[in-house]
Structure 1
Amino acid sequence: MQGDDAELAAAVHAAQHGDETAFRTVYRAVHPRLLGYVRTLVGDADAEDVTSEAWLQIARDLGRFSGDADRFRGWAARIARNRALDHVRMRGRRPAIGGDETELEDRAAEADTAGEAMEALGTDRTMGLIAQLPQDQAEAVVLRVVLGLDAKSAAAVLGKRPGAVRTAAHRGLRRLAELLDAAVGGDGAVLDGVPAQRESHSGTTKPAGVTDSRSRTQKDM
């Protein structure tokens, strides 16, 4: 278990036993990414309210949760997704869950990865670009890369097969890389808040100001 995951798992366990400080630790660790996910479902205007409703349910049902940090993130994301879809239905809008997943299920992912897109996912501008993706791809990217769920956990949240989620995430990352390339000038200047690229120790490019994270191969995706 990674250090951050071990800390989150310990905080969840303590929160289940009534430790309010531990619950605040859980909230601080998960909320920003959970909010980003809800934004892909309901938009900016309603995201805070819907995510708050999700946290109320998370706090209420926390005692019944069992599992590690990754399972907790998936559990929280599933609650948030249900609250978001309830919100969309209540407003009488058609849920923005796009794409025909039957097309994705039997298609293998491409061999390459969109590393630059993954490295830049922490920026507000990139989260805005994610919102431009087809909904199935946006959800898969946020769950897999931003929330850090494995394919099986993300599939459980979305009610899809792991292979479909991998393919949707891969397609979304490729499209996201194209959007980032279009936003960044050829001279490396920063456009619209997207960080310029800098050289990493491994010889690959990465956005300035973005720290290294655990690398993901296409097999991981």
Structure 2
Amino acid sequence: MRRRAQERDAELGRAVERARQGDEAAFTTAYRIVHPPLLNFLRGLVGDDAEDVASDAWLEIARDIGRFRGDGAGFRAWTAQIARHRAVDHLRRVGSRPRGSLLEVDLTGLPSRQDTEQEVLESVSTRAALALIARLPRRQAEAVLLQTVIGLDGPAAARVLGTRQGAVRSAAHRGLRRLERELAELRAGGSVTDSDRRALGGAR
């Protein structure tokens, strides 16, 4: 996902620059590039309410795009930050976390900077990987999702989360190690509930 996102950053940057000048067609182009991974990211945070939260985020993006300064990669980070803020607001209102996510994105072919990430995400089906990610503590899940779904690098993910790059790297590492342990437990037939087995039914 990170590589694919980066490949489209030049096109995205050009569209955003025109959109800042009021070009509606260019804004539509930017939306079509950014929205699918952004929606998937929100599904990882708020579950079935992702569409509503995304709508709120895009209203804010459309309102403030004239103030945005940056390239395509910067726009991806900026929109992710807005979406995350709207997701946090939503979760505060409903007073709970989502019970799971149904992200529709192929994680199995992601370029990896860590052996653990590659082993975990390439060893299970997409549905199983996403079900496992949904079980992580929120900060760990956010770090993994920002880098694998939105395609942000470490510094950009740190800006979105308002923390240090080292903290994001640590959270992602802990999350991936936890995914590895849960996958090992699943394969060993450990303490996994019947509902977990159904959710993780795609594990190979």
The corresponding residue for 1:73 is 76
Q: Does 2:138 correspond to 1:135?
A: yes
The corresponding residue for 2:197 is none
Q: Find 2:171's aligned residue among 168, 173, 180.
A: 168
Write the distance in 1 (CA, Å) between the matches of 2:16 and 2:75.
Answer: 8
Write the distance in 1 (CA, Å) between the matches of 2:72 and 2:124.
Answer: 21
The corresponding residue for 1:59 is 62
**Greater fraction helix:** 2
C-alpha contact 1:33 1:146 (8 A) present in aligned 2: yes
Sort the Cα spacing of 1:3 and 1:33 in 2 relative to 1 into closer, same or farther, 3 A.
closer
Write the distance in 2 (CA, Å) between the matches of 1:51 and 1:120.
Answer: 31
Write the distance in 2 (CA, Å) between the matches of 1:118 and 1:180.
Answer: 10
Of structures 1 and 2, the one scoring higher in RCO (CA 8 A, sep 6+) is 2
C-alpha contact 1:121 1:127 (8 A) present in aligned 2: no
Runs of at least 5 residues in structure 1 that lack an aligned partner in the other structure: 97-110, 186-190, 197-221
The corresponding residue for 1:18 is 22
Runs of at least 5 residues in structure 2 that lack an aligned partner in the other structure: 99-113, 189-199
Write the distance in 2 (CA, Å) between the matches of 1:26 and 1:129.
Answer: 31
Q: Find 1:192's aligned residue among 188, 191, 201.
A: 201
The corresponding residue for 1:31 is 35
**Which residue identity lines up with residue 32 of structure 1 in the other structure?**
P
C-alpha contact 1:36 1:127 (8 A) present in aligned 2: no
Write the distance in 2 (CA, Å) between the matches of 1:121 and 1:10.
Answer: 37
Taking only the aligned residue pairs, the percentage that are identical comes to: 55
1:112-148 residue CA offsets vs partner (Å, 9 max, x unmatched): 4321335589934422321111111100001112111
Please give the TM-score of this superposition, normalised by the length of structure 2: 0.73
Write the distance in 1 (CA, Å) between the matches of 2:141 and 2:48.
Answer: 18
